[in-house]
């Protein structure tokens, strides 16, 4: 997967939000609309390179696949229940 260039993101932003003919009354309107567009772009848009899955959904699924699990056989343990050589802190 490749990351879009800043120029491509800027062009999409201008095309999809700024140039749609909406009359902007003040800079606050533009700032709010920009924040909403960025949230949509980063979390909700359907991304072709991800199989038309939103980036946030793809990242969550990817992270779930990478989350390490407890090994079925963690190895030998001593009589205290810790692995040999492990340092145990008293809390």
d(CA 82, CA 58): 37
Residue 59 pLDDT exceeds 60: yes
Each residue's pLDDT tens digit, 15-46: 888 888 678 899 999 999 999 999 988 888 88
18 C-beta neighbours (distance < 10 Å), count = 15
For residue 15, the surrounding DSSP H or E stretch is helix 6-16
87 C-beta neighbours (distance < 10 Å), count = 5
Q: What is the pLDDT of residue 70?
A: 55
Residue 82 pLDDT exceeds 80: no
Q: Record the pTM.
A: 0.57
- pLDDT, mean over the chain: 79
Residue 55: both structure tokens together = 């980036």
């Amino acid at each position: 997967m490749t990351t879009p260039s800043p120029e491509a993101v800027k062009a999409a932003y201008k095309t999809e939000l700024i140039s749609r003919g909406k009359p902007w009354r003040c800079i606050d309107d533009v700032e709010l609309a920009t924040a909403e567009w960025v949230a949509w772009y980063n979390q909700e848009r359907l991304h072709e390179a991800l199989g038309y899955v939103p980036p946030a959904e793809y990242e969550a699924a990817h992270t779930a696949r990478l989350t390490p699990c407890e090994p079925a056989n963690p190895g030998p343990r001593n009589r205290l229940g810790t692995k040999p050589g492990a340092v145990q802190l008293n809390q």
